[in-house]
């Protein structure tokens, strides 16, 4: 099911043409000056055709946003699926989302010229968007955990997904950061220092599907979990063996 628009069928060719025209109009004029007449002219269709598919302006704008979100998640899904490990999927997924949204022409236009229209939907009134995006990422995490033959304790997946969503929104709206997110090396560092250790902590708390029938190699090394968790940020160099064992077990095909 498409969490962005459950049950809705993709538009037909004419509706897709209208949506493409609407996208160009928003890129050029923004939302305040957006009119159905402009869309008809850009799409080289009649006003009647536009109104037959989208009777009101707000319906057309909503359909445009849904189409853009669907395109975005389709591309993101493909990027994530290409990564073989859980920590890799999370890292490249966050990177794709940040970079894609930063350079998206419609989003960039609205943030630059009409922030008062867009910002509430990403901040004070952003609950619905956060919820939808959280569910989308949660689905990815659940599938990967199941594929690894593990069961994450209840209540872990949703908070992880929400943290990633809020991280992406923050980095898109305010790109000034001490993190080096303009290079491959910077993203590799984010993955190694922050994403992989977090996945390892989840792996230590996970149980193999089937409960008592543990695999030959335990998910966690034989050191106290309470001591291992704070050691991740404090001394990553000395906890490499423990973290590697945990990540290897959760990423095993």
For residue 133, CA distances in Å to 122, 150, 166, 190, 244 come to 12, 23, 10, 21, 30
111 and 62 fall within a common domain: no
The more confidently predicted of residues 242 and 180 is 180
37 and 135 fall within a common domain: no
212 and 155 fall within a common domain: yes
Structural domain for 220, as ranges: 83-251
Please choose, from the candidates 40, 186, 162, 35, the residue with its C-alpha nearest in 3D space to the C-alpha of residue 99.
186
135 and 110 fall within a common domain: yes
What is the pTM (predicted TM-score) of this model? Answer: 0.73
34 and 91 fall within a common domain: no
61 and 89 fall within a common domain: no
The helix (run of H) or strand (run of E) holding residue 208 is: strand 207-208
228 and 132 fall within a common domain: yes
pLDDT category at 223 given cuts 50, 70, 90 is very low
pLDDT at 171 over 80: yes
Total domains in the fold of the chain: 2
pLDDT (tens digit per residue) in 180-221 = 999 999 999 999 999 999 888 877 776 665 554 334 333 334
CATH number of the domain that 51 lies in?
Answer: 1.10.10.60
């Amino acid at each position: 099911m498409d969490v962005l628009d459950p049950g809705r069928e993709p538009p037909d060719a004419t509706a897709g043409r209208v949506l493409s025209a609407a996208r160009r109009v928003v890129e050029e004029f923004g939302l305040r000056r957006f009119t159905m007449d402009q869309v008809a002219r850009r799409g080289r269709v009649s006003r009647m055709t536009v109104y037959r598919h989208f009777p009101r302006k707000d319906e057309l704008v909503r359909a445009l946003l849904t189409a853009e979100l669907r395109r975005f998640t389709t591309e993101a899904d493909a990027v994530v699926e290409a990564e073989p490990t859980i920590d890799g999927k999370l890292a490249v997924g966050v990177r794709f989302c940040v970079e894609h949204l930063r350079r998206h022409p419609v989003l960039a236009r609205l943030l630059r010229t009409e922030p008062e229209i867009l910002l509430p939907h990403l901040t004070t009134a952003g609950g619905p968007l956060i919820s939808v995006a959280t569910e989308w990422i949660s689905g990815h995490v659940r599938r990967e955990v199941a594929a690894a033959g593990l069961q994450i304790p209840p209540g872990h997946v949703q908070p992880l997904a929400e943290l990633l969503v809020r991280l992406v929104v923050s980095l898109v709206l305010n790109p000034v950061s001490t993190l080096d997110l303009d290079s491959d090396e910077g993203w590799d560092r984010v993955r190694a220092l922050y994403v992989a250790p977090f996945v390892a902590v989840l792996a230590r708390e996970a149980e193999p599907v089937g409960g008592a029938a543990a695999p030959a190699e335990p998910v966690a090394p034989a050191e106290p979990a309470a001591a291992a968790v704070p050691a991740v940020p404090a001394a990553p160099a000395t906890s490499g063996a423990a973290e590697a064992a945990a990540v290897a077990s959760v990423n095993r095909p």
